[in-house]
């Protein structure tokens, strides 16, 4: 049902959104890949070209509204109006991540060997919040103009397990992803009269380049944190990127999910339903 539609995917060079963009191309969508790094986007584009489909690769910062408007103009000239928006751009930064789970009095003394909350770089903390929140709000604000003109559309945002539980060590990312779910509800209600549905998916633990350092050892085994996560995930494994696609395709289906808006769907191997006891 999505054949011929224009689908914009931000963060399309990433581990999760790359496969999503490829699947949309397989469905016959005119896919637009947006991200900050050309090389990463081209890897996704190459896979799309292998299946005989076309796509548009455009670099830009999702926090820059003027750039997003320029990109919308480029898309309109080549593909027409945007019908589907996947807000996949986001992420975390190591300087906004603690290396301990709880406060230790030595954190207030000079010379300690760990990074606690009081050691975090507040500029990086702000960057994480802005990338995940404003990097979702701004593309929605820009591409909703197209959907209004088209008489409707679908937006899918990326939330997280941190939406439901403020996981240890990632305070900036946790509060940002909680905000994404709240924003999804607010904008879904606001845009409903325009025929635009807005939902979110909340991936559990999937390994990407950044999380691999926290979840795995150099030899491919599990770090203590990775072992703990697997123990508390009833399926006892990490998710695979393709396992997001079925839920996402349902959410963007204007027939099968026509009365669905404002929800956040966990895709987590059961993590949220288990207390680990």
Whole-number Å distance between alpha carbons of 60 and 58: 7
- How far is it, in rounded angstroms, from Cα 273 to Cα 251? 22
| Residue 177 Cα to chain centre, angstroms | 9
Sheet of 84-87, strand order: 55-59, 30-35, 6-10, 84-87, 153-158, 196-203, 264-267
Q: Which of 79, 173, 190, 231 is catalytic?
A: 173
Q: Is 79 designated active site? A: no
CA distance 23 to 224: 34
Distance CA 199, CA 201 (A): 7
Q: Which residue has the tokens 């790094």?
A: 37
- Residues annotated as part of the active site: 173
């Amino acid at each position: 049902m999505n054949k011929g539609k224009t689908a914009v995917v931000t963060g399309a060079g990433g581990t999760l959104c790359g496969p999503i963009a490829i699947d949309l191309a397989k469905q016959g969508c005119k896919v637009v890949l947006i991200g900050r790094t050309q090389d990463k986007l081209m890897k996704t584009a190459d896979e799309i070209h292998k299946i005989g489909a076309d796509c548009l690769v455009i670099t830009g910062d999702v926090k820059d509204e003027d750039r997003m408007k320029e990109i919308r103009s480029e898309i309109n000239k080549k593909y027409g109006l945007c019908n589907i928006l996947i807000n996949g751009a986001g992420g975390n930064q190591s300087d906004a991540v603690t290396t301990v789970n709880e406060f230790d009095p030595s954190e207030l003394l000079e010379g300690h060997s760990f990074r606690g909350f009081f050691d975090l770089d507040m500029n990086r903390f702000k960057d994480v919040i802005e990338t995940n929140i404003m990097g979702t709000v701004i593309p929605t604000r820009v591409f909703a103009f197209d959907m209004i003109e088209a008489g409707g559309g679908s937006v899918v945002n990326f939330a997280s397990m941190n939406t439901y539980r403020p996981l240890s060590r990632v305070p900036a990312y946790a509060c940002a992803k909680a905000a994404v779910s709240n924003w999804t509800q607010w904008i879904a209600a606001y845009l409903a009269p325009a025929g635009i549905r807005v939902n979110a998916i909340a991936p559990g633990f999937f390994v990407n380049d950044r999380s691999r350092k926290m979840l795995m050892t150099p030899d491919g085994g599990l770090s203590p944190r990775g072992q703990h996560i697997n123990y508390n995930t009833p399926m006892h494994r990490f998710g695979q990127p393709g396992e997001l696609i079925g839920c996402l395709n349902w959410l963007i289906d204007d027939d099968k999910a026509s009365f669905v808006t404002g929800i956040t769907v966990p895709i987590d191997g059961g993590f949220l339903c288990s207390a680990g006891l």
